[in-house]
């Protein structure tokens, strides 16, 4: 696995920043953001993580392929199939108990397909979360604008009043 020691010393780059206070350009810029593959603790990761398809994991895909999958319909269909297979398993155990293996395999295949469908809904959820965050940020900013406007008006009003008071006391 990792060939470095368990507690490695910090990287030696701090020496390059000795004169940063006097001359910021003498020290190197921070490294740009990584793109593509990167290695962390000896394991390789991708920047853009994509859900691997079922075929690449050697699992048969039961729902139809295509660009636009009707998730609700497929999930419901697979649920019905699952119930049917469980009933079939019960029957097989009564009639021919030695042939349970095929049925159990079918049931686990259905479960894998169901989980894969749910996992492929996650990017959609991520976008929905982003939309929600943007909406709440816009809401907060609008609220802040209103608050600032209100305070400025109050301040102007107070200044105007104090001016009247001062003028009044001056004329007196």
Partner 1 sequence: MDIITQLQEQLSEIAMVAVNTFGTLQRDAPPDRLSSSYPDPLNPNPKPEEDAKPQVPAQPGAAPAPAQAQPPAPPQPPALDLAEHPKAMSHALVLAAKKFDALVAALPLSSEDDQLRRIQELQAENEVVGLELQKQLEAAELELKQVEVLFNEATDNCINLKKPD
Residues that bind partner 1 (CB under 8 A): 68, 71-72, 75-76, 79, 82-83, 86, 89-90, 93, 107, 111, 114-115, 118, 121-122, 124-125, 127-128, 130-131, 134-135, 137-138, 141-142, 144-145, 148-149, 151-152, 155, 159
Question: Looking at beta carbons only, is 102 or 141 nearer to partner 1?
Answer: 141
Nearest to 104 by CA among 117, 121, 122, 92: 92
What is the spatial distance between Cα 31 and Cα 36, in angstroms, rounded to a whole number? 15
Question: Looking at beta carbons only, is 16 or 138 nearer to partner 1?
Answer: 138
88 Cβ partners below 8 Å, 6+ apart?
103
Residue 123 CB, nearest approach to partner 1 (Å) = 8
Give me the sign of the Cα torsion angle 115, 119, 120, 125: positive
Question: Looking at beta carbons only, is 18 or 124 nearer to partner 1?
Answer: 124
Q: Which residue blocks in the chain are alpha helix, DSSP H?
A: 71-95, 100-119, 122-171
Residue 21 CB, nearest approach to partner 1 (Å) = 29
Residue 151 CB, nearest approach to partner 1 (Å) = 7
Residue 156 CB, nearest approach to partner 1 (Å) = 8
Residue 12 CB, nearest approach to partner 1 (Å) = 41
Tokens of 135: 């909406």
Question: Looking at beta carbons only, is 2 or 144 nearer to partner 1?
Answer: 144
Tokens of 153: 């008006």
Cα distances from 44 to residues 38, 48, 49, 54, 58, in angstroms, run 6, 12, 12, 22, 22
Question: Looking at beta carbons only, is 59 or 82 nearer to partner 1?
Answer: 82
| Half-sphere exposure for 84 (CA within 13 Å, toward CB) | 8
């Amino acid at each position: 696995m990792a060939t470095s020691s368990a507690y490695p010393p910090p990287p030696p780059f701090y020496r390059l920043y000795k004169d940063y206070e006097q001359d910021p350009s003498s020290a190197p810029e921070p490294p740009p953001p990584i793109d593509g593959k990167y290695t962390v603790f000896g394991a390789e990761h991708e920047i853009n993580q994509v859900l691997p398809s079922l075929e690449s994991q050697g699992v048969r895909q039961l729902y139809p392929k295509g660009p636009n999958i009707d998730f609700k319909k497929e999930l419901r269909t697979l649920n019905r199939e699952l119930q049917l297979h469980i009933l079939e398993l019960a029957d097989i155990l009564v009639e021919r108990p030695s042939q349970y293996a095929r049925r159990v395999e079918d049931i686990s295949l259905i479960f894998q397909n169901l989980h894969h469908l749910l996992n492929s809904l996650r990017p959609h959820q991520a976008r929905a979360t982003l939309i929600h965050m943007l909406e709440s940020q816009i809401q907060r900013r609008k609220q802040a604008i209103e608050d600032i406007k209100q305070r400025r008006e109050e301040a102007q009003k107070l200044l105007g009043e104090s001016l009247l008071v001062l003028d009044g006391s001056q004329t007196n």
